Structure 1
């Protein structure tokens, strides 16, 4: 009999009879047929429960305790018993380094879903479409608080240098290359400084997407010139907000486990993105933007 944390459990003897088609099991004490759900068959047949060689006496004890097995292991065993080849198509069968890579990659669609939600339904303005996702990926290594600080410092210093480059009247591609070099120099400077201060966490700034930072600085400076500083700051803060939300979603352990164990959820995310793409209603930000028109009407 299966029980939780039970010691010295006595085995229960059952008898079986053959009716010409199948074996039927009965409890000899109660006459009830069938094996109870809380019982485990330990042995069938006339052979002794154990054999002893070179000994005088033996004592057999049964102890039972409850333990939990992951559903994935149960599914693997069931697929193996049925001979299904689908049980082999799992990310857990990949090498460990590949598992770590896909564990990160599979969270990117969730970050993209956050971007779609914030831009389509909320109306948050960002620099680029997927730039906040890449920043959120970088936040995974630097942690959120330090990531925000590093992102803000690099972008602010880069903007100041970008204003100086504007006086040189450079072409677009050389100017972007110059900004990229400046971003790398800033990252090196911050890494050396934090290393001397003993802030090892900030050494992971090297994982920041340099090209994205350079493009952010360029886009923000152009927006500043064309639409004013307020619009540039709104889009910059919007990008940072979406990146923070994406970081919180992409670092959620439960979501990470679900996406890795059941990559079929990608189809669900795809369907949600397609559904969101057909939305033609108002955004939340537009409701606040045009609230005066509604009041006057």
Structure 2
């Protein structure tokens, strides 16, 4: 059975990543890509015509443009939105299959799926099982630090880094209003927004999300092994998330080009640092989108 896919915003970093991954899949997945004439990328009627032909339309657009695209094609196609626009919308299914035991089934049958953010994928994977288990209270003050490769900043940042060789390290989002905060808070089960400090390093792809915890401040004084066991149990059946032994050093680009994620619990003396390592363009963007497309097409 053929599943026709139209990527609205195919020329962007995420759109190109989705296209390349779909084109590299074995033929038995049955995906057929529909392409728009580059001269008609902003033509509403041309886009609407392709949405009508497509079984699933992938939106790789800025938030406002994604909302407009949904209005343009509502009722004509199913949607997978890679923007931030619908990630906490109750009418959209959040596209993180490992979120709950039922999430893959929800994605499979949904007409509207929102692809998770890259930082959010790592933070939620670490926090949600610990909040759900009671190790972290929902009202506990959480701080999140993260570093991403410069490809997450789009064409302009990629060009700047490749042309100017830097900066080596850039701290940003210091207004504490990063666009991933609503989904991190909501899907982690937190009652209050965490402090989130993202950064960009001078490497193309890769990401580490890290969360420090004082175990002595948590209910019941959990051990490092308690924390590790909760995460290991939560993802024992996961296909693209694995809990790994702790390390004393981590490089952010180790999983560049891959579509999985590694979680670790680094602990000593009543303190832990939780880490999630992934590719910001893989499990954090295009790779996650392709997995959602496979589910939405009724396949594993």
State the TM-score bracket (shorter-chain normalisation): under 0.3
Name the structure with the higher helix share. Answer: 1
Name the structure with the higher strand share. Answer: 2
Which structure has the larger Rg over C-alpha atoms? 1
Give me the TM-score of the superposition, normalised by structure 1.
0.23
